Structure 1
């Protein structure tokens, strides 16, 4: 991970005479960009970040956590990106708002703290033998589901089997479990053998909305969890309401009486709801909203984290089946400039390798630099000189449309014409999701091997680059399995580094930056702390906050 001694200027480069407004207007062919609720055209012309902090991890202006928590009140989150396919299913979240709703209703065995470190939550113990071929899981006693049922290890096993049988996304992290030979030691403890050593199981047990623990016989139409809030109402694409769980197992929590999550059409509407007092907080904001939020006497937080919004190229579709084309497009990105324009210089530079905060991340691989002349040469070599491609973009996450717009401008210097196909988030995540030839996506940010399980190996639920069908897949999966059964990090590192080198040389991801988390909130929202996780308010953990 880039340390705090890396200055913002070193990370982000300098825009020179360009402001974000000027750059994005030119990139859009002279028209103001409207992708983030029309706010881009209203940002300041200095091109400077909203904060004077110069460290690699941006400062937070979070409301203070001092004082005694107070009971009562309603927190209203203004979000965006939902649609008719929204769900309350604790194991099948897909869209942005699904992941915001899930932590209200459900809990997971393991969580991450504000520094993105693991700790047990519903679990009291998750341990393995020396070679990670046998894992023991023990859950807390005295935890109740919303229907009054007591949590036991049967619910954990039911959850695991439900995920695997339905082929939900978390199944990729459970694929090495031999559940048929699992041995219950008592009502709260189980030993689960693995079909091979699996050293990263703890990370596979993180992820509310994917591996939330649900009760035996669970019905997502009448959602029951152990979470801090209970289901009250839900209208997909519009609004959901949750009420306080008085029997929550964490003593004294939650403090709030109610959490309401409202889906807005765009960022401008979100910000207006915050400024007018209709909303307590708003997520997924762009850097251009920071000053607007502050000028309205609200709090703007900019947190560094492992999240990323990549460009995705399908290796099984022309022209991206040609590694020279993929490399040309990677060289057609001016990463420092893009980070400056889109994220105000916050976050971390990308190098087409995911997992920036993983201790195993290989920082010795040379930083990719902008080289339009070399990109031209590669395209000519491949017979694709003067390449024209269509990029599918959508307002799916902070900076997505803005990044696409900047990429269009930067790639022109390499003779590449990028035509933007801007679609709604509902369309983006519709039947063509994961089938787009050249598109974008978003990730909250996982350690490298867990992310590989999500998007790179056979059976990966989100194989958006179709790496599994590439000529590199066989060697990659061999390395992946070897790394999983190697618990010693010092021995695991060189294996992972070889996988990362393959990503760097041949992969289908363009990762210009690891984006900051930008939110706005009322000063009345208390208990908020600086975080290093990929989703805001430490994975939308509203149980920990109160209204002053």
Structure 2
């Protein structure tokens, strides 16, 4: 090994450690004796005619599950949200700006075409094209360029240092697609399953990819993915045997599922939250006094105890949970304080006002949160009219379309992704339309610095800004609860989300 090669590898390791990147090993050891064969049916919580086969456009958990079944990424997460090598055999850097990616040899797409650097370059740069409509366009802005340096070698240059690039590339939106694909009417990926049928808003059917690049994987022959928006109906379908795994089990259903004898619940503590969104493009909900009043009207302890049966962690109106490595414990916890809420409402001239709030089963527990909020608001002179709307179409028709709605935000693997996607001024997922130049500057600086201590300090300042001035109320972080048939083996928590961070399909097997 030459001195230059050793230096590159050592620096790559140091840069990768900051991102949680491990240089060897793909995933945790599989429990003994997985069995091949079997067909299962899985129910997610929401679907619509906007369901997509394009990873760049995924917006719901159903999309993420579908995409991880059909496509592979350059990296993927393990149970501790560390980025492991996947389609990339190696990822190396000297300065966290210029990155060299070496691809695995012999990986093929579902149509038999061999994966090359051209596919990777196309997959990365398409997020920068407005015509793509990528949900991670703001994240991709930091990719200054990408080029093929050989059939299996890719050079990526960032606009500034970011040691979290390997973790970013494990996101479902960055899964690798075929450079020659002209549309996404079908799916031609390198993932564990091939597409058999796709009906947006209805179902997705996949079958085992016999040429998958991971030897022996996957184990199941066939998976059908559907959506059952109503939680009670979803649990009933599980207990009746109509489906074999469901995402989004309510805490109130845990005892019922486990009492059946043939089913279990897998709990994953996470950064998932349902939040009250106060739009900044409405003069009432943009007012600082109104926003503070709403924040003081949430009884977080009651919500944790009554709605989540303890399967939750108290939150503080910013998106990083206390167990996150970048969490700032010095931001004072906002209490439930109706009198302070009344004070701010009086200053805003809103005592006696009537305001509609839109809730839906699609935003987990928002219906009950809305009821609790309505009761507390009435006690201080604010009339909140709760409008319950169906799950079907909620995200496209109501979320962010009214002054007061509830959102439901999936956890992200890094602080950079969390802040960039949900709070940066230019992000399409900035629910409230909150724009803060100081916040954007801190975000850019944190992304550029290579000093871990300074990065944590900057992320801490961002949490303070969101807590003090942001236009969302985040009362608790929810544990993710999946219901499974006990004959479905191999399911393990990955904190990114339900169903093993949406990647369960390549790991589980049917033991019957």
TM-score norm. by structure 1 comes to 0.83
Partners in 2 of 1:229 and 1:200 — Cα distance? 28
Which digits, 9 at most, give the CA deviation of each residue in 1:361-382, with x for residues without a partner?
A: 1012111110000110111122
Contact 2:39/2:220 (<8 A) preserved: yes
Residue 119 of structure 1 aligns to a residue whose secondary structure is: strand
Which stretch shifts more, 155-164 or 133-142?
Answer: 133-142
Residue 154 of structure 1 aligns to a residue whose secondary structure is: helix
Q: Which residue of 1 aligns with 2:85?
A: 120
Q: Which residue of 1 aligns with 2:259?
A: 295
For residues 52-131 of structure 1, the aligned pairs below 5 Å read 66-130=31-95
Q: Unaligned regions of 5+ residues in structure 1, if any?
A: 1-64
1:186 aligns with 2:186: no
Contact 1:434/1:462 (<8 A) preserved: no
Partners in 1 of 2:363 and 2:340 — Cα distance? 31
Contact 2:482/2:498 (<8 A) preserved: no
1:143 aligns with 2:107: yes
2:275 equivalent among 279, 293, 310: 310
Q: Unaligned regions of 5+ residues in structure 2, if any?
A: 1-29
How many residue pairs get aligned? The number is: 477
Q: State the structure with bigger RCO (CA 8 A, min sep 6), 1 or 2.
A: 1
Identify if the C-alpha distance between structure 1 residues 536 and 410 changes in structure 2 by more than 3 Å, giving closer, same or farther: farther
2:491 equivalent among 528, 534, 541: 528
Which digits, 9 at most, give the CA deviation of each residue in 1:80-128, with x for residues without a partner?
A: 3112222222221123321221111111222221222222222223343
C-alpha displacement of 1:160: 1.7
For residues 390-409 of structure 1, the aligned pairs below 5 Å read 390-409=356-375
2:226 equivalent among 262, 281, 284: 262
Partners in 1 of 2:296 and 2:257 — Cα distance? 36
C-alpha displacement of 1:213: 0.8
2:238 equivalent among 268, 274, 287: 274
Which stretch shifts more, 384-393 or 504-513?
Answer: 384-393
- How large is the RMSD of aligned CA atoms in angstroms? 1.9
Q: Which residue of 2 aligns with 1:440?
A: 406
Q: Which residue of 2 aligns with 1:3?
A: none
Identify if the C-alpha distance between structure 1 residues 530 and 211 changes in structure 2 by more than 3 Å, giving closer, same or farther: closer
Q: Which residue of 1 aligns with 2:194?
A: 230
Identify if the C-alpha distance between structure 1 residues 184 and 198 changes in structure 2 by more than 3 Å, giving closer, same or farther: same
Identify if the C-alpha distance between structure 1 residues 290 and 354 changes in structure 2 by more than 3 Å, giving closer, same or farther: same
Contact 2:491/2:504 (<8 A) preserved: no
Contact 1:113/1:538 (<8 A) preserved: no
Which digits, 9 at most, give the CA deviation of each residue in 1:433-452, with x for residues without a partner?
A: 43332111222212322112
C-alpha displacement of 1:457: 1.9
Contact 2:57/2:133 (<8 A) preserved: no
Which digits, 9 at most, give the CA deviation of each residue in 1:292-350, with x for residues without a partner?
A: 21232211222211211111111231212211110110010010111112211112111
Q: Which residue of 1 aligns with 2:500?
A: 537
C-alpha displacement of 1:432: 4.9
Q: Which residue of 2 aligns with 1:430?
A: 396
Contact 2:399/2:407 (<8 A) preserved: no
Partners in 2 of 1:77 and 1:232 — Cα distance? 15
1:389 aligns with 2:355: yes
Q: Which residue of 2 aligns with 1:451?
A: 418
1:332 aligns with 2:294: no
Contact 1:143/1:150 (<8 A) preserved: yes
Residue 442 of structure 1 aligns to a residue whose secondary structure is: strand
Q: Which residue of 2 aligns with 1:466?
A: 433
